[in-house]
């Protein structure tokens, strides 16, 4: 089993990654959008499919029109991730205590 360690790679279990992209752009958990679309799909499947594809078009246009905002968002999100093995000694000792 191989894993892709690039931060821009979409997970294999996403359908086009639209909910995840919208969650990244607007700062919310994409699970809520997935749940809303899934619940609405039971009632209005064609409308949800059209809405999902329209949202995909919005994401595509915004990523093409504003590539610098995407790079800044990725830098902000990766800056918050803990770096294994690169922690200052104060943090290592604080975790052990």
List, for residues 23-32, the tens digit of each pLDDT value. 888 888 999 9
Task: Please give, one letter per residue, the 3-state secondary structure of 6-50.
Answer: CCCCCCCCCCCCHHHHHHHHHCCCHHHHHHHHHHHHHHCHHHHHH
**Which whole number is the average pLDDT over 11-17?**
69
Domain ranges of the chain: 14-74
What is the total residue count of the chain? 97
**Which whole number is the average pLDDT over 5-29?**
74
């Amino acid at each position: 089993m191989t894993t892709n360690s690039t931060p821009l790679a979409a997970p294999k279990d996403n359908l086009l990654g639209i909910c995840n992209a919208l969650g990244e752009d607007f700062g919310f958990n994409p699970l809520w959008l997935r749940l809303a679309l899934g619940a609405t799909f039971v009632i209005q499947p064609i409308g949800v499919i059209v809405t999902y594809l329209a949202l995909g078009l919005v994401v595509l246009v915004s990523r093409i029109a504003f590539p610098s905002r995407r790079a800044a968002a990725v830098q902000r999100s990766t800056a918050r991730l803990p770096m294994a093995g690169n922690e200052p000694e104060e943090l290592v000792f604080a975790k052990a205590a």
